[in-house]
Amino acid sequence: MIGRLNHVAIATKDVAKASAIYRDTLGAKVSEPVPLPEHGVVTVFVELPNTKIELLEPLGDSSPIAKFLEKNPTGGMHHVCYEVDDIYAARDRLKQLGSTVIGTGEPRIGAHGKPVLFLHPKDFAGTLVELEQA
Ligand code: CO
């Protein structure tokens, strides 16, 4: 069902500092910060030859990554995103198999302008999983 790894997301309190690590220390191609108020994050995209890294910093009072950063003050891996061909078919299959889809269960438009869903970490080896319709 799942296809390519679209991105790995890393939450950080300081996206400028994390950008500098990826750009200057690791020598990667790094975008300018992109504020996404509707998602409660500032995003920086790191482009790698085979996938992307998303650096996320909280934006606003009700950021979805605020709690994660409380528990992980130095930052850390927040989620992985896998591509699927049909997000509704994927959702229905996962629900049928007993997986917990976070929120209303309706896909939302994600950071790349495509429909996404999040799956609860308890069902996926402790990792928050994002599905994106490719
Ligand atoms: Co993501």
Query: pLDDT value at position 26?
Result: 98
Query: pLDDT value at position 123?
Result: 96
Query: What 3-state class would DSSP assign to 65?
Result: coil
For the entire predicted model, the pTM comes to 0.93
State the chain's maximal CA–CA distance in angstroms: 46
50 Cα–ligand 1 center, Å: 16
pLDDT digits (tens, 9 = 90+) for 93-107: 999 999 999 999 999
Query: pLDDT value at position 112?
Result: 83
94 Cα–ligand 1 center, Å: 19
Query: pLDDT value at position 10?
Result: 98
Q: Which of 54, 83, 130, 132 is catalytic?
A: 130
What domain range is 11 assigned to? 2-133
CATH number of the domain bearing residue 60: 3.10.180.10
* Low-confidence residues in the chain, pLDDT < 70: none
Secondary structure in 3-state letters for 112-133 = CCCEEEEECHHHCCCCEEEEEE
83 Cα–ligand 1 center, Å: 11
> Is residue 130 annotated as a catalytic residue, yes or no?
yes
Domain total for the chain?
1
